[in-house]
């Protein structure tokens, strides 16, 4: 099956270092329900932050932190030699992306996530 690409957005926060769930731009939901084994192949900023603005994303499964951290400084799609973050295996469950801005002028942040269903 062809990969599925979704865009998730974190609205501009009211303060630095405050986590909030990112929203799927297509469905308006703050989670994705995985029913079969999946893989996150890659995640990129969409668009990349301006200089001096940083975000961190935590991946949650069923509301529990998985320990996976993604940093906006390493998600720049235009970076020469950038390594994809995946594959990140996803077993069935509810997944959310919890995002916090850690540096810079308060701004919204979006990423594109490429999912692939495992055979």
pLDDT, tens digit, 9 for 90 and up, residues 64-98: 999 999 999 888 888 766 777 879 999 999 999 99
If one counts the domains in the chain, the total is 1
Sign of CA dihedral 39, 31, 64, 9: positive
Question: Please, are residues 36 and 94 in contact by the beta-carbon 8 Å criterion?
Answer: no
Rounded CA gap, 29 and 15, in Å?
23
| pLDDT value at residue 86 | 79
| pLDDT value at residue 76 | 86
73 — phi, psi (to 5°)? -65, -20
Give the range of the structural domain holding residue 84, as residue numbers without chain letter: 4-117
Residue count (the chain): 119
Tokens of 86: 């995946």
Q: Is 83 helix (H, G, I), strand (E, B) or coil?
A: coil
| pLDDT value at residue 81 | 66
| pLDDT value at residue 1 | 60
Q: Going by C-beta distance under 8 Å and a sequence separation of 6 or more, which residues neighbour residue 67?
A: none
Residues of the chain under the 50 pLDDT cut:
none
| pLDDT value at residue 28 | 96
Instruction: Write down the H helix ranges in the chain.
Output: none
CB atoms within 10 A of CB 96: 21
| pLDDT value at residue 3 | 76
CATH number at residue 80: 2.60.120
Q: Is 73 helix (H, G, I), strand (E, B) or coil?
A: helix
């Amino acid at each position: 099956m062809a990969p599925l690409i979704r865009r998730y957005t974190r609205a501009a926060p009211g303060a630095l270092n405050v986590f909030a769930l990112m929203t799927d731009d297509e469905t308006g939901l703050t989670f994705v329900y995985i029913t079969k084994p999946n893989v996150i192949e890659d995640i990129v900023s969409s668009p990349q932050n301006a200089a001096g603005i940083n975000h961190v994303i935590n991946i949650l499964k069923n509301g529990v932190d998985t320990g996976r951290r993604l940093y906006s400084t390493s998600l720049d799609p235009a970076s020469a030699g950038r390594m994809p973050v995946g594959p990140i295996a996803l077993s069935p469950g509810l997944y959310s992306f919890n995002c916090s801005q850690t540096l810079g002028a308060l701004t919204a942040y979006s990423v594109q996530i490429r999912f692939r269903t495992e055979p």
